[in-house]
Each structure stands twice: as structure tokens, then as C-alpha cells.
């Protein structure tokens, strides 16, 4: 944080007051819809129907809604699956994205520009319109109903990381590679030993963006992970769309159960998350 | 939002069987006394199957090993069969409780067969994708996206129409060229659910028989009670599409109306006697325009509306008979819930339409063992399980007992659409989809009626004229013969 | 770029082999996946757009008929007007994000609490947001209760999802809510990358807050702001999730994609829906190119002066 010597003038005090008021207002707006959900999740059915949504629940120890939501949506298994998918997809997409960016940035070859453009253009294509064919391809390759199939599908549509890494490589001096090569490094060595460690900020960026996306992805997982044991945490929530209609005491509990893990992870790695996003922003 | 698909009950697409002919068609399948379950017993039916599966000639030998559904004896045949089958359902809410319970009961009877349910969110869309790709499992509710002439591409024939029609209701909804590919998971009758106490409190002594009487009664409820006269459940979507189910049998008393629709010129025009499709949508439009519905339809709420009608906070909901059980169970006043026919009178008589829910179809690419196991389970479900009682639906078997709800339909004739004429099995769906009027498959046009009434942007006549135009355009582009 | 050492001729040959090896191995998987999950489906979609077809059943080639229909149906293009709400929402979001980021560049106590609170909505899934805001806007629920606390009579509270004057604003607001914090962090990151001495120097120099913003902060985040404007416009044209999960596109909230989805699934017109997707894609490409040209023009003649001014100022400060 920059240290700024604020002059204690009236103007500055007024600015400070304004600043804090605004920040408090902004934070409240951001948090209220979810806080209300927290209240509702602890209310009994009768309480939910008879009290204002803004009122506190009688007891914060009424956990029945959570139990129902947890069981109904088989969330324990969902957490495990999500964790597996998250780790594998993040590691592989970081590797793939950075490797591709390395090649595209460091080597001149026929089709380099074309390939870049293919990736950039892909970002504009409407995914929802292409589901039919994607499903058939997934099926033909036997990727449906396997966690690895779903992971491959998530990586196949991974354009953000590639973009971020490409940007980042622009700012890594080529002299690094050259001196390593003079020292006898192979290209693989250059990439894995020299460049990859330097990519840390870009890796953080893509981990944050991709991680949030993967954690919350529900459409593909509901299509491709069909059996009960394979459900991820967000599909678990998706099953609430129909049957519970608007039994918000259960739904809110379900929503909170899905939010809590990512919130905890976020709070632990807050600094790194901001840092990661910032790295992307500066280069962007 | 997608509850339509989840409930399986929105009076699926087509209503067909004449229920009035329920009586004497009882020929128990166990009549095939010989327990000779293997290929030999069923040469006749397998021939038929082979014929129907003309596009898959290679399948013929394997089909020969599978009997038709009428010839298989649940609890006696194939007791040693070992198989593991998967069945898809839209009921994500009760798959692990009620449905798993059915499967458990069946597995006690057939210990070597494993039945596994899989609930699918967003059923119609997801299952259509799975069908086109194959390898989805053994049994599914056939989605409405499968035209009849494509049924044999995905599902095995369960038997021939003339035989099964004697035993089961609604079979011709999934029949093509004499072969039945799906048997309905029960059926529903179309009427209106209401809270008797509220209606009585409003001073209504006689049930309405015409749209205008109905609207007057709703007005009385508004004036004399605290209840919402008519709850639309707009935001659920499928609840709006549910209005379509009344425009055929209930509004015309004509079992052929459905089959004639694709040939009709301007079917949505107002009729002087206030019958036909217009009269149904008139009820919807006017009750919204006269503010006889909930204040904020956009945030209406299906789940809590069940309790509300039970408690008398809602007076009326226009939904199929399947809903009645749910309303009764949603609170302490089950006896207050009543069911009445749709308020349209055709030549002095009231009618109610009935139709099948989703039908069970069996994967034609499954192994013989799985086909047989699937058939055993389907037959057990529709004949032995307590499902119809639990769901309050019209049973699949013609000799089954009607749900108690329909007792209130005294003096009302319950009819169903006639089977489609040969060669026109898909004609209604084709015109319906092409025109985008979407009767019984697209909720959005019905939503537009409510929106127009709410905002006063268009009159009902304007909407109906537009539908007529779309209908004509579709007829023209498909080259359908139009009767003047 | 290829900087392989030409002076090391003795292993030039093997370098060359290695070079192709690395190009091939590093690109093989990503390209294969791109082909499988993006370009083959895209090619199929183009093909579908020339057919009259359902998901299941026969298809017939109809040439340009689907495209003609897209342009002959006024309601399809009217749905693009709904996107204007999301575009405006996108600008509001940028402005708010910029505003809060600027507030935080200056010293703030409890900074991490504010940051976390505002960033938090970004972590929530679209489906959960659907649930949260259905509940939030429902008649008599959260927002109504909040407004009532300020003494507004119930009959004066609008119906957030039903009143066509505001329901699209309600929906666009959910996406502003979701992304403002994330944008703020992005902008803040860019701002913090400026040497902190600059702020100090500017402050000593007597530059007021506005000048600090204009000459130091703004130039530092120019490129990220431009990128976000471009993204928010193409994003608003393809807006889908808020109306889909909250109102299902009823009451005049149907965006182009919601309508396309309906045509594909409820009416089973897969060919027409594919044509719609391609028409929208072309519109998005046109918009993107126009914007790029626009910003290129603006920054050649406008902001560059500003950054020059900033640079001048920087030099001046350095001297002091």
C-alpha cells in the first residue's frame, strides 16, 4: 500500500468521510443478498413463512435445512469430486497454457499467427449453441460419465489461461532463454527450469480465474457427469432447480454449503488471489 | 423453472385413448400359461418386432429372444436372470426416496436384477442429447422431442398395438405403424383444483359451467374473501403451459379435435358458444386483466402455493388431477381440496380430457438380458407397484381403479384424443412446432397471454389472430391440406 | 523471434530437430482440444444453420432460408435491445469498480475487509446467484422489506421482476453485483503497479485528488479499462445467465440467447437457432472491430497526450 502523506486539511477529512461512507455502502450492497440467505438458511419452515426475510432466525443452531440440503444433494461426494477436478484441471491447464504460450511467443514458424488467432477467435464463439455436437464428440470418445472426461472437456474450452500466458511471455526477456541455451540447456530445460518458475504471477492469475470458473461450473458437469457418485458440488446445487421450487430455507442452506468452501479458500489465500488478478491486469 | 420436465405430469403431449371403453378388456397377461419364457414362445411377436426395426436388420436375432410385454409374467418368469439396469427419471426430488423404494421392492422379487435410478436435471434437453448419442441406459421416460416415426430408432417395440391397446391406457401416444414403443406411467385428467371452503365462503353454491360464470365466481371470491381467486404460478413456466391441455377435449368434447387441428383453418378464432381454444385462453386472459390473480406473478412460487391452497389463501389453480394429491398433503386441510371440470359447456354437456404422462421406453440397443429385465421392471411398476396410488394418477392398466379425485366428475364425460390416422402420426407435432404456437410443449406463448393481459399491451383477439396466422403459415410451409 | 544460436553451428542440426520437437509436443494437446471442443462443433453449427432439422429425425437442406428468417423476424432483433440494459450495466460496473478502486488507492483502514466484501460475489456460481436473486426480488421478500424499512408504502414499491420499466434493470444489476468487485481488484492491481513514489510526489506537489486520478491513475489502467469495455459489450450482446436463471426470459426480459435457446429446445428448430448463433457472432465481431478502431483513434489523439502530460509531470517531479 502506498504511503501517502495526507494533509490534515478539512478537504482531506471530508474526503475521508466520503470515502469510508462509500466503501461501507458498497460492501453492504455486496454482502446483503447473501447475508439474508444466511438468515433464511437457519429458519424452520414455519418461521421462514411467517417472518420477514430480514429478521434474524430464532436460533443459529437450527441445522436441519443444512442436513436436508447436504443429504439431498449428496454434497459430501460432491466436494470430493470437485476437489479432484479442481486440482487436476488447474495443474494441467496451467501447464498446457504456458507451454503453448511459450511456443507461440518464442518460435517463429508457419501458422504461428493463425494458431493465435484461432485461440482468440474461439473466445467469441457461443458455447451454448454448440452443445449438441460437443456432447456427441464426448460420447464418441467415451468421455461421458468419467471424471477425466469432464476434466478434458473443461480444459478443451480453456482459452483464458492461454491468453494470460501469452501476455506474460511478451514481458519476459528473450535473453533469459538465450543465456540458458548457451549454458547447454535444451528447449524443454529452458521452459521447465528457467521460464516456468518466472511465470508464477501469471500462474496465480490463471489459477484464480480458472479456479473460480471450474468450481462453479454446473452445465457441463450436469451433462457429462451423470451417475450419482460423480456429481460435483455445483451440480448438486443445480438439482435444487426443480423439486424445491422456492423452499428457500433449504435452497439457501444449499447455496451456503457451496459458497463456504470457496470462501474459506479465498480468505486464506486472499493476498495471492488479489496479487494474481493484479498480475493479469497489469499485463492485460 | 423447469418443473414441467421434473413433474412428468404436464399432460404430456397427446391424449389418445378413449377411457370410456375401459370396461371389459381385461385379458390378463398371465394367460400365456406356459412358463416357456424363451425364444420359442414368441415367434409371432418377434416377427413383428423385426418388421418394425426395419432400419436395424442386424438386431432381429436378438429381438427374437425377448418376449412382448403382455406375454411376460412378473414374479414367475426369468427368476434366474442376472442383469443390472439403469432407469432415467425426471423426478430429482423423489428419486432417492420413493423411486428407490420401488426398486428395492422389485429387487426383493428378483434378487439377481439390480435396478438403479438416475435423476436428470433439465430432463427434456439433457435426455434428448443422450438419446442422439446413445449409451444412456435401459429405461427412460420418452421425451417429447422424439417424433413417432423415430421411436423405433431408439426404443424396442413392447408389443403390437392391437394387443396392448386391450390392456393398457394411452398406448397409442407412443405407437407407430402398429408397434408400441412406450407405455405411460399413468395418466391425468384435466380439471381445476379449488379450495371448497373458500368457494363456499364466497357464497358460491353452484359450480360454474361457462367461462363467464367462472370469472364471476372468481370476482365473488375476490370481493368476499381474503384468498387469491386464481393463482397462476406464472414464474414456474410449466404452469402456464398447462392451460393448453384444456383446449382440445375439455373445450370441444370432440376426441378427434386434436387430429383435426393441423388441418383446421383458424382454430383459435372465437366461437359464439364460447367453446374451443379461444374460450380457454379467454379465462386466462380475463382473470389476469380483471386482477383476479396473484399480485406479482413474476415472483409466484409453486412450492409454497401448495400449502397456500390447502390453508385457503389461494382459492383456485388450473392444473391436472395429479396436483390434487400434492395439495391435500401440503397441509392440515386435505378435505378442503376439490376438483372440478373446466368451465366450458358444449351443447349442454361438460367434458374433461385425459392423457398419459411420460411413457416408459426401453433402449433398443440394450442386451437381451437387460431388455427382459427392463420389461419386467416396467411391467412390475405399472401393474404391481403402489405408484399410481401414491401419485393419484389414472393407472396404466385399463382395469385399474381411477383415483378418488375424479369422483367429483359426476356427469362429466371423460374423453381422450383418438389415435392419429395412419400417416399423420407426427402431423400435429410438425405443425405445432413449425408454427411455434407450441401447444403442450412450449410454455412461452401462454406466458405471453398473461403478459399481454397484465400490461394491457394486446387484446386476446390480437393474440389469437397472430396464432391463427402462425398456424396457417406453418400449414402452408409444410404443405398440409386445410379444411375450410 | 526464434533465437536459436546460429553461432553454435556444430549443434545447429540437432537444435533444429529439437525445435520442431518442442513446437510439436507443446502444441499438440492444446490444438487437439481446441479442434475437438471448439472448431469441429463450430463447423457443425455452420452446417446445421443451412438445414431444417430437429435434434432427432430427418434433416433437409434449406440453403439460406434460416438466415432469411432470422432477419425477417422482428422479435429476434428486438431482443438485442434488451442487451442495451446489460451494456449500460457494464458501464455502471466499470464506473463503480473504477470509483472504488480509486478510493482504495488512497490509504484506507480495514482495506482488506472492504476488498473481501466487494470481491466476494465473484466467487458465487451463476446458479446460486439465480436462487439468491429470485429470493431477493420476490414480492414481499428481501428487497421489498429493505425498501419498506425506508418508509416506502407497499403500494409504491415496484415489482422488480414484473414491471417492464425496471425488470431488465433488476436483472442487469445482478451482473453488476457479481462482477464489480472483481473489476475493482483488477483496476486496483493496475493502479498499484504505478510506482508509489509518484503518489507521494504528486501529493507533496499539491496535486489534488482529481489530478492524481487523471494524470497518474488513469493512464496506468488505460489498457485494462479498454479491454473491459470491449469485453462488456460483447458480453452484453450474448447475455444469457441472469434472465435464464431468474425470469426465464418472460415479461420482456428475453435476451437474444434466451430466445435462441427457446427456439432450439422448445420449438426444436435447431437449424434456425444455429443461424441465430452465427448472426450474433458476426454482430459481435463487427462490434469488436469497431471498438478497436475507435479506441485506436481515441488514444492516438487523446489519451496519449494525457500520458505525455503525465510523463512531463513525472520528470518535473523528479527534478524537485
Asked if the C-beta of A174 comes within 8 angstroms of chain C's C-beta atoms, the answer is yes
Q: Closest partner residue to B132 among A49, A136, A223, by Cβ?
A: A136
pLDDT confidence bin for C124, thresholds 50/70/90: very high
Task: Give pLDDT, residue B340.
Answer: 93
Sequence ranges of the domains in chain A: 10-62, 74-283
The answer to whether residue C64 is domain-embedded is no
Asked if the C-beta of A244 comes within 8 angstroms of chain C's C-beta atoms, the answer is no
Residues of B in contact with A136 (CB under 8 A): 132-133
Local structure of residue B76 (DSSP, 8 states): T
Q: Do B189-355+410-484 and B3-186+357-404 fall under one CATH topology?
A: yes
Q: Say whether pLDDT at B27 is over 50.
A: no
Please give the residue range of the domain that contains residue C6: 1-48
Task: Give the C-alpha separation, A265 to C233, whole Å.
Answer: 32
Structure confidence by residue, pLDDT tens digits, A9-32: 777 788 888 889 999 999 999 999
In the CATH hierarchy, which fold is given to the domain comprising B3-186+357-404? Answer: D-Maltodextrin-Binding Protein; domain 2 (3.40.190)
Residues of A with CB under 8 A from a CB of B: 49, 72, 131-132, 135-136, 138-140, 144, 222-223, 226-228, 235, 238-239, 241-247
Strand positions, DSSP E, chain C: 51-53, 59-61
With a cut of 50, list the residues of chain A below it in pLDDT. 1-7, 243, 283-284
Q: What is the mean pLDDT of residues C248-253?
A: 85
Task: Give the C-alpha separation, A154 to A216, whole Å.
Answer: 12
Same domain, C9 and C157: no
Structure confidence by residue, pLDDT tens digits, A149-207: 999 988 876 676 787 788 788 878 888 888 888 887 888 888 888 888 888 888 888 88
Q: Say whether pLDDT at B462 is over 60.
A: yes
Among residues C311, C309, C97, C100, the alpha carbon closest in space to that of C194 is found at: C311
| Nearest CA distance, C165 vs chain A (angstrom) | 22
Helix (H) or strand (E) holding B338: strand B337-341
Residues of B in contact with A228 (CB under 8 A): 118
Other CB atoms within a 10 A radius of the CB of residue B464 amount to 21
Domain count for chain C, please give it.
2
Q: Return the bridge partners of B117, or none.
A: B87
Q: Say whether pLDDT at C96 is over 60.
A: yes
pLDDT confidence bin for B386, thresholds 50/70/90: confident
Tell me the three cell numbers of residue A269.
489465500
| Nearest CA distance, A242 vs chain B (angstrom) | 5
Structure confidence by residue, pLDDT tens digits, C44-60: 999 999 999 888 888 89
| Nearest CA distance, B166 vs chain C (angstrom) | 30
Q: Which residue of B has its CA nearest to C249?
A: B444
Q: Closest partner residue to C56 among B132, B438, B443, by Cβ?
A: B132
- Cα–Cα distances (Å) from B423 to B175, B259, B343, B420, C315, in that order, read 12, 12, 34, 8, 86
Range of lowest pLDDT (B18-27, B77-86, C117-126, C214-223): B18-27
Structure confidence by residue, pLDDT tens digits, B209-232: 999 999 999 999 999 999 999 999
**Phi, psi (5° rounding) for residue B184?**
-65, 140
Q: Say whether pLDDT at C113 is over 50.
A: yes
Task: Give the C-alpha separation, C167 to B309, whole Å.
Answer: 28
Task: Give the C-alpha separation, A173 to C174, whole Å.
Answer: 42
Same domain, C186 and C304: yes
Residues of B in contact with A230 (CB under 8 A): none
Range of lowest pLDDT (A148-152, B404-408, C97-101, C203-207): C203-207
- For a pLDDT cut of 70, what percent of chain B falls above it? 87
Task: Give pLDDT, residue C13.
Answer: 52
Give, rounded to a whole angstrom, the gap between the first and last alpha carbons of chain A. Answer: 21
Pick the residue of C53, C54, C65 with the most B CBs within 10 A to test the interface with B by mutation. Answer: C54
Task: Give pLDDT, residue B24.
Answer: 33
Q: Return the bridge partners of B88, or none.
A: B118
pLDDT confidence bin for C294, thresholds 50/70/90: confident
- For a pLDDT cut of 90, what percent of chain C falls above it? 24
- Is pLDDT larger for residue B190 or for residue C215? B190
Task: Give the C-alpha separation, B246 to B262, whole Å.
Answer: 17
Same domain, C122 and C224: yes
Residues of B in contact with C265 (CB under 8 A): 124-125
The answer to whether residue C76 is domain-embedded is yes
Task: Give pLDDT, residue A281.
Answer: 61
In the numeric block, the cell 530445460 is attached to: A189
Task: Give the C-alpha separation, B128 to A281, whole Å.
Answer: 42
The answer to whether residue C91 is domain-embedded is yes
pLDDT confidence bin for B46, thresholds 50/70/90: very low
The answer to whether residue C58 is domain-embedded is no
Task: Give pLDDT, residue A28.
Answer: 92
Q: CATH no. for residue C170?
A: 1.10.3720.10
Just give the CATH number of B189-355+410-484: 3.40.190.10
Q: What is the mean pLDDT of residues B306-322?
A: 92
Residues of C in contact with B146 (CB under 8 A): 56
Q: Say whether pLDDT at B49 is over 80.
A: no
Task: Give pLDDT, residue C221.
Answer: 77
Among residues A224, A226, A205, A77, the alpha carbon closest in space to that of A151 is found at: A224
| Chain centroid offset of residue A238 CA | 17
- Is pLDDT larger for residue B93 or for residue C278? C278
Same domain, C86 and C187: yes
Q: Which residue of B has its CA nearest to C138?
A: B299
Same domain, C26 and C102: no
Pick the residue of B121, B291, B298, B427 with the most C CBs within 10 A to test the interface with C by mutation. Answer: B298
Per-position b or e across A244-260, b if 16+ CB within 10 A of its CB: bbbbbbbbbbbbbbbbe
> In chain A, what is the greatest distance between 2 CA atoms, to the nearest angstrom?
76
Q: Say whether pLDDT at C2 is over 50.
A: no
| Chain centroid offset of residue A107 CA | 31
Q: Say whether pLDDT at B264 is over 90.
A: yes
Task: Give pLDDT, residue A27.
Answer: 93
Q: Say whether pLDDT at B392 is over 50.
A: yes
- For a pLDDT cut of 70, what percent of chain C falls above it? 85
This complex has an ipTM of 0.85
Structure confidence by residue, pLDDT tens digits, B176-219: 999 999 999 888 999 999 999 999 999 999 999 999 999 999 99
pLDDT confidence bin for C7, thresholds 50/70/90: low
Sequence ranges of the domains in chain B: 3-186+357-404, 189-355+410-484
Asked if the C-beta of A224 comes within 8 angstroms of chain C's C-beta atoms, the answer is no
Structure confidence by residue, pLDDT tens digits, B424-455: 988 999 999 999 998 988 888 999 999 999 98
CATH number of A74-283: 1.10.3720.10, 3.40.50.11290, 3.40.30.160, 1.20.58.340?
1.10.3720.10
Question: B129–A223: do the CB atoms touch at under 8 Å?
Answer: yes
Range of lowest pLDDT (A202-206, B140-144, B407-411, C30-34): B407-411
Q: Closest partner residue to A135 among B93, B133, B302, by Cβ?
A: B133
Looking at chain A, which subunits does it touch, using at least 3 CB pairs closer than 8 Å as the criterion?
B, C
Amino acid at each position: 500500500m502506498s504511503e501517502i502523506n495526507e494533509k490534515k486539511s478539512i478537504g482531506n477529512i471530508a474526503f475521508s468521510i466520503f470515502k469510508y461512507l462509500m466503501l461501507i455502502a458498497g460492501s453492504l450492497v455486496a454482502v446483503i443478498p447473501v447475508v439474508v440467505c444466511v438468515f433464511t438458511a437457519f429458519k424452520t419452515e414455519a418461521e421462514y413463512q411467517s417472518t420477514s426475510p430480514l429478521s434474524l432466525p430464532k436460533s443459529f443452531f437450527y441445522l436441519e435445512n443444512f442436513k436436508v440440503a447436504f443429504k439431498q444433494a449428496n454434497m459430501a461426494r460432491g466436494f470430493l469430486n470437485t476437489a479432484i477436478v479442481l486440482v487436476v484441471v488447474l495443474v494441467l491447464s496451467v501447464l498446457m497454457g504456458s507451454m503453448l504460450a511459450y511456443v507461440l511467443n518464442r518460435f517463429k514458424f508457419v501458422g504461428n499467427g493463425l494458431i493465435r488467432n484461432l485461440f482468440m477467435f474461439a473466445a467469441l464463439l457461443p458455447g451454448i449453441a454448440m452443445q449438441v455436437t460437443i456432447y456427441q464428440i464426448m460420447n464418441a470418445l467415451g468421455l461421458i460419465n468419467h471424471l477425466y472426461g469432464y476434466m478434458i472437456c473443461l480444459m478443451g474450452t480453456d482459452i483464458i489461461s492461454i491468453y494470460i500466458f501469452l501476455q506474460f511471455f511478451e514481458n519476459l526477456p528473450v535473453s533469459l532463454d538465450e543465456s540458458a541455451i548457451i549454458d547447454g540447456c535444451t528447449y524443454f530445460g529452458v521452459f521447465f527450469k528457467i521460464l516456468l518458475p518466472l511465470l508464477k504471477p501469471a500462474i496465480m492469475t490463471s489459477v484464480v480465474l480458472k479456479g473460480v470458473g471450474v468450481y462453479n461450473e454446473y452445465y457441463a458437469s450436469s451433462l457429462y457427469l451423470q451417475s450419482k457418485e460423480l456429481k460435483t458440488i455445483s451440480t448438486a446445487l443445480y438439482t435444487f432447480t426443480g423439486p424445491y421450487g422456492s423452499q428457500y430455507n433449504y435452497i439457501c442452506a444449499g447455496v451456503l454449503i457451496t459458497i463456504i468452501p470457496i470462501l474459506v479458500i479465498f480468505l486464506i489465500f486472499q493476498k495471492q488471489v488479489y496479487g494474481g488478478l493484479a498480475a493479469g491486469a497489469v499485463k492485460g | 423453472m423447469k418443473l414441467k420436465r421434473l413433474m412428468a405430469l404436464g399432460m404430456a403431449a397427446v391424449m389418445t385413448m378413449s377411457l370410456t371403453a375401459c370396461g371389459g378388456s381385461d385379458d390378463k397377461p398371465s394367460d400365456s400359461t406356459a412358463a416357456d419364457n424363451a425364444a420359442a414362445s414368441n415367434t409371432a411377436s418377434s416377427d413383428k418386432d423385426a418388421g418394425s426395426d426395419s432400419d436395424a436388420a442386424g438386431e432381429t436375432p436378438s429381438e427374437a429372444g425377448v418376449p412382448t410385454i403382455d406375454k411376460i409374467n412378473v414374479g414367475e418368469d426369468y427368476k434366474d436372470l442376472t442383469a443390472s439396469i439403469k432407469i432415467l427419471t425426471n423426478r430429482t426430488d423423489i428419486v432417492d426416496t420413493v423411486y428407490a423404494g420401488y426398486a428395492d421392492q422389485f429387487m426383493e422379487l428378483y434378487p439377481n436384477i439390480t435396478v438403479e435410478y438416475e435423476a436428470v436435471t433439465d430432463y427434456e434437453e439433457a435426455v434428448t442429447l443422450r438419446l442422439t448419442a446413445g449409451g444412456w441406459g435401459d429405461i427412460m421416460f420418452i421425451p417429447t422431442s422424439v417424433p413417432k416415426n423415430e421411436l423405433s430408432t431408439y426404443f424396442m417395440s413392447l408389443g403390437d398395438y392391437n394387443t396392448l391397446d386391450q390392456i393398457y391406457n394411452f398406448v397409442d401416444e407412443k405407437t407407430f405403424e402398429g408397434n408400441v414403443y412406450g407405455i405411460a406411467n399413468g395418466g391425468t385428467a384435466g380439471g381445476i383444483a379449488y379450495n371448497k371452503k373458500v368457494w363456499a365462503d364466497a357464497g358460491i353454491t353452484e359450480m360454474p359451467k361457462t367461462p363467464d360464470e367462472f370469472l364471476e365466481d372468481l370476482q365473488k371470491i375476490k370481493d368476499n374473501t381474503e384468498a387469491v381467486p386464481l393463482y397462476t404460478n406464472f414464474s414456474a413456466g410449466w404452469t402456464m403451459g398447462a392451460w393448453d391441455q384444456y383446449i382440445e377435449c375439455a373445450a370441444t368434447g370432440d376426441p378427434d379435435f386434436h387430429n383435426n387441428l393441423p388441418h383446421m383453418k383458424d382454430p383459435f378464432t372465437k366461437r359464439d358458444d364460447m367453446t374451443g381454444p379461444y374460450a380457454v385462453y379467454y379465462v386466462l386472459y380475463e382473470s389476469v386483466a380483471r386482477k383476479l390473480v396473484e399480485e406479482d406473478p413474476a415472483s409466484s412460487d409453486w412450492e409454497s402455493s401448495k400449502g397456500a391452497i390447502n390453508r385457503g389463501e389461494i382459492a383456485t389453480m388450473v392444473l391436472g388431477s395429479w396436483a390434487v394429491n400434492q395439495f391435500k398433503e401440503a397441509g392440515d386441510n386435505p378435505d378442503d381440496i376439490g376438483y372440478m371440470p373446466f368451465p366450458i359447456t358444449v351443447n349442454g354437456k361438460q367434458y374433461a380430457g385425459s392423457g398419459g404422462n411420460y411413457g416408459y421406453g426401453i433402449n433398443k440397443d440394450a442386451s437381451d438380458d437387460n431388455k427382459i429385465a427392463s420389461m419386467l421392471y416396467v411391467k412390475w411398476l405399472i401393474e404391481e407397484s403402489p405408484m399410481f396410488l401414491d401419485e393419484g394418477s389414472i393407472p396404466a392398466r385399463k382395469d385399474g381403479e381411477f383415483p378418488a379425485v375424479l369422483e367429483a366428475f359426476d356427469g362429466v364425460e371423460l374423453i381422450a384424443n383418438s389415435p392419429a390416422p395412419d400417416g399423420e402420426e407426427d402431423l400435429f407435432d410438425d405443425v405445432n412446432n413449425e408454427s411455434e404456437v407450441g401447444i403442450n410443449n412450449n410454455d412461452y406463448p401462454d406466458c405471453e397471454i398473461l403478459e399481454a393481459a397484465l400490461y394491457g399491451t394486446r387484446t386476446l383477439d390480437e393474440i389469437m389472430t397472430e396464432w391463427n396466422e402462425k398456424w396457417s403459415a406453418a400449414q402452408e410451409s409444410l404443405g398440409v391440406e386445410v379444411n375450410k | 523471434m526464434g533465437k536459436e544460436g546460429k553461432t553454435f553451428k556444430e549443434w545447429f542440426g540437432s537444435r533444429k530437430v529439437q525445435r520442431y520437437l518442442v513446437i510439436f509436443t507443446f502444441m499438440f494437446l492444446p490444438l487437439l482440444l481446441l479442434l475437438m471442443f471448439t472448431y469441429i462443433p463450430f463447423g457443425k453449427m455452420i452446417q446445421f444453420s443451412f438445414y431444417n432439422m430437429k435434434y432427432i429425425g430427418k434433416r433437409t437442406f434449406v440453403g439460406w432460408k434460416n438466415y432469411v428468417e432470422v432477419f425477417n423476424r422482428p422479435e429476434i432483433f428486438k431482443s438485442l435491445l434488451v442487451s442495451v440494459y446489460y451494456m449500460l450495466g457494464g458501464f455502471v460496473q466499470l464506473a463503480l469498480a473504477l470509483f472504488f478502486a480509486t478510493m482504495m488507492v488512497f490509504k484506507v483502514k480495514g482495506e482488506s475487509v472492504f476488498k473481501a466484501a466487494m470481491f466476494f460475489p465473484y466467487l458465487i456460481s451463476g446458479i446460486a446467484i439465480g436462487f439468491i436473486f429470485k429470493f431477493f426480488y420476490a414480492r414481499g421478500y428481501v428487497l421489498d422489506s429493505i425498501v419498506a424499512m425506508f418508509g416506502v408504502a407497499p403500494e409504491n414499491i415496484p415489482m422488480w421482476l414484473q414491471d417492464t420499466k425496471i425488470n431488465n434493470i433488476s436483472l442487469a444489476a445482478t451482473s453488476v453485483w457479481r462482477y464489480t468487485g472483481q473489476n475493482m481488484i483488477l483496476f486496483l492491481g493496475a493502479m498499484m503497479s504505478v510506482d508509489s513514489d509518484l503518489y507521494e510526489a504528486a501529493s507533496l506537489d499539491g496535486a489534488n485528488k482529481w489530478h492524481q486520478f487523471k494524470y497518474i491513475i488513469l493512464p496506468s489502467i488505460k489498457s485494462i479499462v479498454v479491454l473491459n469495455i470491449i469485453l462488456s459489450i460483447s458480453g452484453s450482446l450474448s447475455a444469457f445467465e441472469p434472465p435464464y436463471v431468474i425470469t426465464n426470459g418472460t415479461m420482456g426480459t428475453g435476451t437474444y440467447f434466451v430466445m435462441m435457446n427457446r427456439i432450439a429446445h422448445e420449438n426444436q428448430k435447431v437449424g434456425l437457432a444455429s443461424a441465430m448463433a452465427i448472426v450474433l457472432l458476426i454482430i459481435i465481431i463487427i462490434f469488436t472491430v469497431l471498438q478497436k478502431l475507435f479506441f485506436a483513434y481515441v488514444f492516438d489523439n487523446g489519451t496519449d497526450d494525457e500520458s505525455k502530460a503525465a510523463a512531463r509531470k513525472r520528470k518535473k517531479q523528479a527534478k524537485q
